[in-house]
Amino acid sequence: QAGWPGLIAAYADRVPVPDGARVITLLEGGTPLVPAPELSRRTGADVYLKVEGANPTGSFKDRGMTVAVTHALASGVQAVICASTGNTSASAAAYAARAGLTSAVLVPQGKIAAGKLAQAVAYGARILQVQGNFDDCLELARKTAAAQEDVIALVNSVNPVRIEGQKTAAFEICDVLGRAPDVHCLPVGNAGNITAYWKGYREYAADGVIETTPRMFGFQAAGAAPLVLGHPVSAPETIATAIRIGAPASWNGATGARDESGGLIDAVTDEQILAAARLLATTEGVFVEPASAASVAGLLVTAADGRLTGGPGGDRPLVVCTVTGNGLKDPDTAMGWMTPPTVVPVAAEAVAEALELR
């Protein structure tokens, strides 16, 4: 095999697809696990970033979508449908295009980042901008799919095969590290991903591939933190539009992961999220969208208040933060960091003077 074969082929024994199915893949997965020296220095932990923005459409959603669209095509439907804060719709549109299926995407009007909308347009999705939030979109997508099951397949993470694909990120981490981390930090919105990672770690532990499982640390945006509050939020608000969700579909999956792993689900403010995103870009060289930085914001908070403790020996904890989506998805956020541009004439001395490097 020349190179990475995509996650269905890489984990064929663990990610089932229908017999004889045409596998729809863009060679997703196999993403980098990048050491993060500055975060390690600041937290006293050995921190790695699972850079999911390196997937074909720039987010972790591709892991679930290769499996979901493979199943959808095999089942004989004509179309796939999803509700999305942007990344699921980009991914569904790409894999549907590849499969020759129609994709219908329901997104909250005016609340998805520019890059994600551009992707849905480019991949040829039928885009419906809903006058409501993500939770409204999901309800509509579910109803639409349920009414025409033979024609259209729902590819949100309430479709269990999405979770089967997404759990492979946990496998990859263990395969690279030769063990599971002590703590795994990730952002939480609809809560499919924390559910999927925990399933992946449990499967590897059950089969003896790893000896210990990590504590799962999930982080929601403070204005959209139903799992922290313990009840749905009717009007979720956050700059991290990807996780602007008030009624997570995988509620029990998230609380189960938290409780079974001895972890936590906490909230981080928009200010902490943006600061973490900038820190990642300017010190680690990893540019992520705001939602992704919730994992790192949470890492910094829990390290500072003493909740990020070590392994059984009390040693430096080994921590993985999943950064879920590429920074290019949300150019408006990054442009907000720009200071007034320095304009120079075409003259070398002017450039040197403006840079003041000496």
Interface with ligand F0G (CB under 6 A): 59, 61, 84-88, 157, 187-193, 242-243, 289, 291-292, 324-325
Distances (CA, A) of 81 to 65, 157, 340: 12, 12, 42
Min. distance of Cβ 211 from ligand F0G in angstroms? Answer: 27
Nearest residue (CB) to ligand F0G, 46 versus 106: 106
322, amino acid identity? T
Min. distance of Cβ 244 from ligand F0G in angstroms? Answer: 9
Q: Is 122 annotated as a binding residue?
A: no
Min. distance of Cβ 306 from ligand F0G in angstroms? Answer: 26
Q: Is 156 annotated as a binding residue?
A: no
Nearest residue (CB) to ligand F0G, 84 versus 103: 84
Nearest residue (CB) to ligand F0G, 46 versus 82: 82
Q: Which of 224, 73, 87, 217 is nearest to 153 (CA)?
A: 73
CA atoms within 13 A on the CB side of 19: 0
Q: Is 190 annotated as a binding residue?
A: yes
- Gap between the Cα atoms of 288 and 331, Å rounded: 10
Nearest residue (CB) to ligand F0G, 52 versus 182: 52
Q: 12: helix, coil or strand?
A: coil
Nearest residue (CB) to ligand F0G, 257 versus 318: 257
Min. distance of Cβ 242 from ligand F0G in angstroms? Answer: 3
**Contact status, residue 77 vs residue 152, Cβ threshold 8 Å:** yes
Q: Is 252 annotated as a binding residue?
A: no
The two counts, helices (H) then strands (E), for the chain are: 15, 10
Min. distance of Cβ 189 from ligand F0G in angstroms? Answer: 3
Q: Is 87 annotated as a binding residue?
A: yes
Bin 86: left if φ > 0, else alpha if -120 < ψ < 50, else beta: left
- Gap between the Cα atoms of 206 and 316, Å rounded: 25
Q: How many CB atoms lie within 10 A of CB 37?
A: 12
Min. distance of Cβ 308 from ligand F0G in angstroms? Answer: 20
Q: Is 326 annotated as a binding residue?
A: no
Nearest residue (CB) to ligand F0G, 46 versus 220: 220
Q: Which of 2, 61, 1 is nearest to 31 (CA)?
A: 61
Binding site, by residue number, is 87, 189-193, 324
Binding site for pyridoxal 5'-phosphate, by residue number, is 87, 189-193, 324
